[in-house]
Structure 1
Amino acid sequence: MAVFWVAEALPLAITSLIPIFLLPIFGIMSTMKTAQAFVSGPTMLFIGANVIALAIEKTNLHRRIAFRILLTLGVRPKRLMLGFMLTSWFVSMWMCNTATTSMLLPILESVLRQIEESGDGNNASGMTKHRSENMAEFEEPHKACCADGAKCITFDETRGTCSPPGLKRQQEKDAREPVIVVYVARPDAAEGSDHGSVPVSQGYAKRDPEGFRKLAIGLTLSICYAANVGGVATINGAIPNMIMKGEADSQWQTNLGKNSPVNFTSWAAYGIPIALINLAFLWLWMNSFYLGIRSTFGCFSSEERNTEEDKAVEAYLRREHKKLGPVSVDQILVSMLLLTLVAFWVFREPGFMSGWADLFPTGYMVDATPAVLIGLLLFVIPANFTGSSGKGGTVPTLMDWDTMQRRFPWSVVMLMGGGFTLAKACGVSGLSKWIGTNLSIFDALPRWFMLFVILVLVALLTEVTSNPATCSLLMPIVVPLALCQLQLNPLYLMYPVCFATSFAFMLPAASPPNAIVFCYGRIKTSDMIKAGAIMNVICVAAVVLGTETWGMALFDLATPPWNGTATTCDMGGKSGMGGM
């Protein structure tokens, strides 16, 4: 199964069905027990969280947030980069990073177009050129949500399809992207139109072509990198997070008979500081690398002047923000439901006081409970109170089944189930114990350095393998490694390894956001490698720092929660899917 995931011989979701027939054939687990792993607490959390993410997209709330942040932070290059980074980072905490990247890229392309055209008095006279056909413009609405087995279809009206290298492979391996339609400019497209051609004027782009090229590359990469970084901040920010939560609950239920300490609150307490550190270093690194150190740290650099490019970009952002109109009723309602869900998660077991879960029997109320409740309410609450009807005379609700049926990442549910089943089988068969106890090479290394080496290897592996598949493969291995070899809490390795599977910065095929920005045509693989290699090291170092400091205090990582020698190491850590 691992070979099929890595080689991508079959779609990831279909590969996830292999345990259903293979485990019973080899006498490892019955079909009934195998199938039970496919629907668990983490699965229901994923469903509930993604329903509200779809509602955010449907109401255009994410675009309103994006324009508001960009206008607030300013339009000068380093502030503009911070604005796109912060927007991508924040939105990806609640929505899939693929949809976040796809939403921001058309906005960025329009901003770059304003910079290209600004200051050119001859632009209206026809001084417009077409960029090479490698450039591709994502047209709204391209409906890029999170589903498996997507194809990035490049619709070239002149020559047929032409997908950038490695993109088809990425879409096959990803677990979160449906169909992305990429439009390449027609030679006969109307000059100055919003679609079909991208003008390269004799404004800033001609005055300083190298400077504009670096600015465009830096801004483009900033969006996908920030989306990858932001996904680790919350438990619902990325699929590997929920896979890790499922394995943690499984281990705690089996060995201690209770849920693991991994919940929304504890995850945020550990993950948000790491994500903030990575965001800060990402901004410093990308600014220094693409805009120059003087521009990044200089208080009175030439960038501070109010140039024509700044005015053009600000005018565009204000114009697009105005097109959204006033805040609508459905946007207000979705915002309130999102805040309510976060409050449910935070105050379920806050730690500093009794939570609302204490009103019910122990273990009955988990993070999936309010997520499914809020998801259900989205199908009940009307989108407006004006009495206007939709199709068939029915009042439209905040979410409808047609939208969910088309946009929901159903294949991810299968992928997660396959990962949980694989983890369970590794425990029952004793494979995870055997692998973990034979990794004695790490005994000779200092603990922090051992963690750093492991995370670097994981980050390199996830550059060529699906992030969820990598997490599913590694979780059953790191549990006995932590308990049997290192005599530590399993979370000491589970959290960092899970985070490292999201640190995919170096290759277009490493993550869906990377593939999308590469498909946009402004960057080359070498650009991504040069900037991404440093980001891999920075992010891994931040995780090591967080684990060795506040992570130790939050989860008591230096102390095994149960006797690893008597259970996981001898019995293989038999697993059963716990609640969530």
Structure 2
Amino acid sequence: MQKNNLLIIFFTLILALIIYTSELSNIQSHTLFITLITAMLWVTEKLPIPVSSLIPLGTFPLFGILSSKQVAQSYGSPLILLLLGGFMLSTAMSQTHTHRYIANKVIGFIGTQSQTRLLLSFMLTAALLSMWISNTATTLMLLPIALAIVENNSCKKFSTILLLGIAYSASIGGIATPIGTPPNLILIQTLQNSGQPDIGFINWMKQVAPVLFIILPVTYLYLRLFINNKAIDYDLKKLSITSSQKKILILFLITAILWMTRVEPFGGWRELFNFPTANDASVALLAVVVLFTLGDDKGQKIMDWEAVNKIPWGILLLFAGGITIATAFQETGLSHLIASKLTFLNDYPIWLIVGIICISVSFLTEITSNTATTAVLMPILLSTAEAINVNPIILMLPATISASFAFMMPVATAPNAIIFSSGKVPIKEMIKTGIGLNLIGALILTVYFSITQ
């Protein structure tokens, strides 16, 4: 441990020497040094990631990089408020076991008669749920159901593949909507900070849904290679829907419709009702207010403030730190400086650049937080896109999706860690199965974005 600390101190001193003797201005040097130190702490987790995220929030005003007002705006970003509202809504779904009811219906509809049908049932359920609630909650909910099915199954290989299918699908489903996983919102915020057009729910889903519809079936077919089609003897318990679950489902459905129709079609309801500054956060927070007014059959409130403590507040701090770094890169001119140094990439085909980005991010997030990785990479990729005169989406969206396509290591994603903790998935099997899927995912993203953009 002491040796590692000495290495970090040595690396920090070398880093400072390189940065502060370069052509950068003082403000740019401070910005880059603080960013790299924060990134290093995110990767090594020498401090809890949310605590490391406070470094730019505290030091940027101190060194005159950003004003206190600019830093405070990171906390009040509409996308942080959207994430907060999304967390509260998904917590209500967990509190009322609404997600368990949905899972029961989907799995029951597709069937549990054979290994392949059962795998498909769980994968579709995980992907569907993780579009709207966290992939962590999705995996935690589906794991005990899957374990109950496989505990009487003598085929260890099928048990492993079924659990991996849940983890992989939970990660894949998160790419489909802006609130599906935090890296999506980091991309959107970075684009907004740079003056790019707003990406609404429908626009996001238009661009990402085709990827989901390709990668999910491919993942299913890939995992099918490892199992046979033997019959499974399991009777799924039928669950009746409660009044609380009905209310949550109706509220969630209305919220999703309002998200998707805010700016489309024909200008959306924002233009129709003359709410020009309305955003997705407005919808989420008003839905939360309605949520706290709903009661169950016994006259008790469905949601209380104590339940809100379960929200992953640390993610919001990490998100705020990432937004602050992206803003600092823009304000200090670091983004433009990086762009000027990357013009040599014009000599390379776009498919090669996208492919390198996808593979690099996919394997990097095997050992680092995908949210932290995205927070560091987004301003750099924005500068790269400017340098080679391409639409930033061509580089930034594949990178963001790749951050969710880490399938090899237990530490790569929360779903991977949860599945590994069951004791049913040996790490050797996870690596062996996941490495092929990492490469397949990178290949699909490279081909898709090279052709369509």
Regarding TM over 0.5, the answer is yes
State whether structure 2 residue 376 is matched by structure 1 residue 463: no
- Alignment map for 1:57-76 (pairs within 5 Å): 57-75=94-112, 76=114
Q: Distance in 2 between matches of 1:541 and 1:266?
A: 23
State the SS of the aligned residue for 2:278. coil
**Equivalent position amino acid for 1:354 in 2:** G
State the SS of the aligned residue for 1:510. coil
**Equivalent position amino acid for 2:135 in 1:** N
Q: Give me the TM-score of the superposition, normalised by structure 1.
A: 0.69
Give the match for residue 235 of structure 1. Answer: 178
Q: What is the number of residues matched between the two proteins?
A: 415
- Alignment map for 1:320-469 (pairs within 5 Å): 321=238, 324=239, 326-351=240-265, 353-359=266-272, 363-384=276-297, 388=298, 395-405=299-309, 407-440=310-343, 442-469=345-372
Larger radius of gyration: 1
State the SS of the aligned residue for 2:194. helix
**Equivalent position amino acid for 2:124 in 1:** L
State whether structure 2 residue 223 is matched by structure 1 residue 286: yes
Select which of 179, 191, 194 maps to 1:251.
194
C-alpha deviation, 1:400, in angstroms: 1.3
Q: Distance in 2 between matches of 1:356 and 1:74?
A: 39
State whether structure 2 residue 85 is matched by structure 1 residue 48: yes
Give the match for residue 524 of structure 1. Answer: 426
State whether structure 2 residue 79 is matched by structure 1 residue 79: no
C-alpha deviation, 1:541, in angstroms: 2.5
**Equivalent position amino acid for 1:465 in 2:** T
Instruction: Among all aligned residue pairs of Structure 1 and Structure 2, give the percentage whose two residues are the same amino acid.
Output: 34
Select which of 254, 261, 265 maps to 2:198.
261
**Are the aligned partners of 2:171 and 2:405 in contact in 1 as well (CA < 8 Å)?**
yes
Give the match for residue 488 of structure 1. Answer: 390
**Are the aligned partners of 2:167 and 2:416 in contact in 1 as well (CA < 8 Å)?**
yes
Q: Distance in 1 between matches of 2:431 and 2:317?
A: 32
Q: Distance in 1 between matches of 2:368 and 2:276?
A: 35
> Could you report, residue by residue, the CA deviation over 1:95-127 in whole angstroms, capped at 9, with x for unpaired residues?
110111111111111101233xxxxxxxxxxxx
Q: Distance in 2 between matches of 1:21 and 1:346?
A: 36
Higher helix proportion, which one?
2
Q: Give me the TM-score of the superposition, normalised by structure 2.
A: 0.88
**Equivalent position amino acid for 1:247 in 2:** T
Select which of 533, 541, 544 maps to 2:443.
541
**Are the aligned partners of 1:89 and 1:231 in contact in 2 as well (CA < 8 Å)?**
yes
State the SS of the aligned residue for 1:252. coil
C-alpha deviation, 1:88, in angstroms: 0.7
**Equivalent position amino acid for 2:104 in 1:** F
C-alpha deviation, 1:363, in angstroms: 4.4
Q: Which runs of 5+ in 1 are unaligned?
A: 116-204, 206-211, 254-259, 296-302, 389-394, 553-580
Q: Distance in 2 between matches of 1:244 and 1:360?
A: 29
C-alpha deviation, 1:15, in angstroms: 0.9
C-alpha deviation, 1:57, in angstroms: 0.7
**Are the aligned partners of 2:91 and 2:308 in contact in 1 as well (CA < 8 Å)?**
yes
- Alignment map for 1:188-207 (pairs within 5 Å): 205=154
> Could you report, residue by residue, the CA deviation over 1:198-233 in whole angstroms, capped at 9, with x for unpaired residues?
xxxxxxx2xxxxxx1211111111110111111101
C-alpha deviation, 1:361, in angstroms: 5.6
C-alpha deviation, 1:441, in angstroms: 5.1
**Are the aligned partners of 2:194 and 2:330 in contact in 1 as well (CA < 8 Å)?**
no
**Are the aligned partners of 2:354 and 2:450 in contact in 1 as well (CA < 8 Å)?**
no
Give the match for residue 212 of structure 2. Answer: 275
> Could you report, residue by residue, the CA deviation over 1:77-106 in whole angstroms, capped at 9, with x for unpaired residues?
000011111111111111110111111111
**Equivalent position amino acid for 1:398 in 2:** I
**Are the aligned partners of 1:270 and 1:546 in contact in 2 as well (CA < 8 Å)?**
no
C-alpha deviation, 1:424, in angstroms: 0.8
**Are the aligned partners of 1:229 and 1:275 in contact in 2 as well (CA < 8 Å)?**
yes
**Are the aligned partners of 2:410 and 2:420 in contact in 1 as well (CA < 8 Å)?**
yes
> Could you report, residue by residue, the CA deviation over 1:346-404 in whole angstroms, capped at 9, with x for unpaired residues?
211114x23110146674111111111111100012223xxx3xxxxxx3223211111
Select which of 22, 36, 39 maps to 2:59.
22
Q: Which runs of 5+ in 2 are unaligned?
A: 1-37
- Alignment map for 1:131-280 (pairs within 5 Å): 205=154, 212-252=155-195, 260-280=197-217
Q: Distance in 1 between matches of 2:339 and 2:136?
A: 34
Give the match for residue 18 of structure 2. Answer: none
